[in-house]
Every structure is written in C-alpha cells, then in structure tokens.
Structure 1
Amino acid sequence: MTNLVPPVESAENAGANRRRWLLGAVASAATLGGAALAWRRYQPQTLAPSAEATLWQLEFPGLDGGVFRMASMQGRPVLLNFWATWCPPCVEELPLLSSFYRENSAKGWQVLGLAVDQMEPVKRFLARSPVTFPVALAGLPGVELGKSLGNVSGGLPFTVVLGSDGRVAHRKIGKVSPDDLRAWAALK
C-alpha cells in the first residue's frame, strides 16, 4: 500500500523555503521594475502640444535686469541647459557649452543657460567664469520646467536639444560630453 500523505516538513526547512520564495519574489519584482524603467527611458518622449507651445511663450529674468524671451529663439535649433552654481558637474560642463556655442552659432545654433539658482550667486560666478552664450534666471520654477521637458527626477545638469521645428530632439540628465555635442551639432 502506498502512503499518500506528504512528509512533514521540519520548521527549519519550511523557514528556508519561505525565505527562498520571498527572495525570489523580491528579485523578480526588482527585475521587472528595472526592465520597465529601462523600457520607459528608451521610449521616444514628446511634450504635449500645449507644453511645446508654452515653452516658446516663457520669459525669464535676464542677468542685466531685462527679460529674456524664449520666442526670440524660435525657428532655430536650441541647446537649453539647466544648471546651478552649486552643482559641480554643471560648472564643469560650462566651458564645453561655450565652445559648442562659439563653433556652431554661425550655423544657426543657439545656447541658453537657465540657472536654477538665485541672481546674485549666478552674477558672481559668471563674473569669475564667463560664458559665451546667454544665461537667464529660471530659479526654483526651472525645476518644474525641466520636469515638463522630461527631467522627471529634477536632477542637474539637464540639457534639452530643440530642433528648428521647436520639438524636443534630445534630452540628457548629467554632464554633457564632447561626443554628445558632436552628435547634436549634426541636427537641425
């Protein structure tokens, strides 16, 4: 006669099995979450039409006391860089952005630095380390603008490349590289 009753598991084995099952479930959830994040990151992201239209209507305080109007840049490619004086990678990439502007402005490229900072620290910083491109003050609302342009984490530096058509062509969170700038220079 065959015994149809399963063997009784020891408490030690039952605990080990539960831990293995729990560890497997956590690992599976982490893998699925990472895959979803990677999938989302590499999907084309576009602004809602109203967000693109709104971008070109924005005005920012200029460092000279005037107003910088985004509409003045419409119709040509734009490299829009969000930065702050207290952000080391932001400060490190500014000379690269200045070179990009010097080399490509004759080809129609524009660069705008939007400082997510306060007026006085930005003025002091740029007096010591000038740049060749215009800088305007976005302040804390610049973080929200960056989020609307695809920087959901609000991290700095954040660079957005807009084509001549006014649409977002590229985004980069983190310091730009010479390779990024060479690739972007080929865009129109």
Structure 2
Amino acid sequence: MNNRTRWLVVVLVLGLAGVVALWPRDDEPGPPPTPSRPTQDVSALRAQAQLRPCVPGSGGGVDVTCLGDGTRTALALKGPLLINFWATWCQPCQEELPVLDAYAKQPGAVPVVPVLVESREADGLELLTRLGVRLPSVHDGADELRKRVKAPNSLPATYYVTADGQVRLITDPPTFTAPDQVEKAVR
C-alpha cells in the first residue's frame, strides 16, 4: 500500500468517526419508539377487547378515557380502589395484568382500574385482548392521573386508595405475581 492510499484510508476512517460522533442520539431513557403503522379502527378493537364498562365519574376526579367505549370520564380517587399504571412496552406490566384480573374476579375484591400510560389506546386494546384481561380500563394520555398521585416514571406502579381517600403506593411486592399478593396488599 503506497502513502497516498494510506492517507486516503486514514481520511475515510476519520470522516466516518466524525459522522458517528455527530449523529443525533436519543439519550432519554424511556419506552422504545412505537413503530409506525396504519391507523386502526379503534372501535373494532374495543369490541374485540370486550372490556367491562368503566364506572361513570362522579365529578371531582381526573379526566381519562374509558378504553372499553372511548367515553371521557372523571376517575375519582375514592376508595377502596386499586389503580395500576401500565404501558404496552412494559414486560412486568404484561405479566401483572392477568394477575390483577384474576384477583378482581374473586368475591369481595377491591375494584381494580388499570390505567394505560405512555402508549396508544389501540396498542393497549390489542394487548388486553391478547392477554384476555377484561378489567374496566382507562387511558391517561395526558398523564394527569399519574401526576395527581405523584406516581414514579417506573412501571408498573400500583396504588391503593383507601375508603377515606388516602393514596398509598404499593411497593411490597413491586410487581404482583399471584392474586393472594394483591389481597394482602389491600388489607
């Protein structure tokens, strides 16, 4: 290899290194990007999901969208109530949702409201359908409910709302793996 070829290789390598160094990066942690795809018929996804109806708002709550029918409702922080924040990209959320659904089917269970965040409604409906979870679920697209309870950015995050309106983050366990863990957490 002659000197001219060596210099050409050095210049190309340095140029490539410069491009890589200057290439924009997304250094923010968070969910992976949602792949682009055609807009789906959300009403068909709602019908397919067969979610139980949301409890109509009684005012004074946070405005959210009921995933089951698309209506806006005010979710009041009145208990007893279990609120579970989840996203479609969150693997522990996907494992926990069926556990919460199984718990909610037990006699005397505290009402459970899954709250979809950081995800599109259509994606949430698809996931709930695939998991067979039929809980009355809401979408908090503006993150208002999560801000109200000062929920962490990590998911899943589950809160117990007591009868007198106190909101308590459940940290033990951090993710439910069995319905009896949910029962113990809400006592």
Whether contact under 8 Å (2:64, 2:73) holds in the other structure is yes
CA distance in 1, matches of 2:139, 2:93: 15
Correspondence for 1:110:
111
User: How far apart, in 1, do the equivalents of 2:83 and 2:110 lie?
Assistant: 11
Q: What corresponds to 1:47 in structure 2? A: none
User: Who is 2:160 aligned against?
Assistant: 161
Instruction: Output the CA distance in 2 between the equivalents of 1:171 and 1:157.
Output: 10
- 1:46 corresponds in structure 2 to none
**What is the aligned partner in structure 1 of residue 176 from structure 2?**
176
Q: Is the 8 A contact 1:80 1:159 kept in 2?
A: yes
Secondary structure at the residue paired with 1:107? coil
Q: Which runs of 5+ in 2 are unaligned?
A: 1-58
Q: Is the 8 A contact 1:102 1:132 kept in 2?
A: no
Which stretches in structure 1 are left out of the alignment for 5+ residues? 1-54
For 1:164, give the aligned amino acid.
A
CA separation in 1, counterparts of 2:129 and 2:102?
Answer: 18
> 2:132 is matched with which residue?
130
Corresponding residue pairs, total = 125
Tell whether the 8 Å contact from 2:98 to 2:132 is kept in structure 1 after alignment: no
Is the Cα–Cα contact under 8 Å of residues 83 and 113 in structure 2 kept in the other structure? yes
Is 1:62 aligned with 2:48? Answer: no
- What is the one-letter code of the residue matched to 1:176? F
| Partner Cα separation in structure 1 for residue 145 and residue 62 of structure 2 | 10
What is the percentage of aligned positions where both structures have the same residue?
A: 30
Q: CA deviation at 1:136?
A: 0.7
Query: In the alignment, is the contact (CA less than 8 A) between 1:155 and 1:174 conserved in 2?
Result: no
Whose helix proportion is higher, 1 or 2?
Answer: 1
Residue 56 (structure 1) shift: 4.8
Q: Which amino acid is 1:136 matched to? A: V
Q: CA deviation at 1:125?
A: 1.5
TM-score (structure 2 length as normaliser) = 0.58
CA contact (8 A) 1:101 1:132 kept: no
**Are the aligned partners of 1:93 and 1:175 in contact in 2 as well (CA < 8 Å)?**
yes
Letter in 1 for 2:65: P
Q: TM-score, normalising length from structure 1?
A: 0.58
Task: Please give the alpha-carbon distance, in whole angstroms, between the structure 2 residues aligned to 1:82 and 1:56.
Answer: 20
Contact 2:84 2:114 in 1 (8 A): yes
Deviation at residue 132 of structure 1 after TM alignment: 3.3
Cα distance change of structure 1 residues 89 and 174 upon mapping to structure 2, 3 Å threshold: same
Would the aligned equivalents of 1:156 and 1:174 in 2 still touch at CA under 8 Å? no
Return the alpha-carbon distance in structure 2 between the equivalents of residues 94 and 56 of structure 1.
27
**What amino acid is aligned across from residue 63 of structure 2 in structure 1?**
E
Instruction: State the Cα RMSD in Å.
Output: 2.5
> Which residue number in structure 2 is paired with residue 97 of structure 1?
100
Cα distance change of structure 1 residues 56 and 131 upon mapping to structure 2, 3 Å threshold: farther
Note if contact 2:95-2:177 (Cα within 8 Å) is conserved in structure 1.
Answer: no
Structure number with larger C-alpha Rg: 1
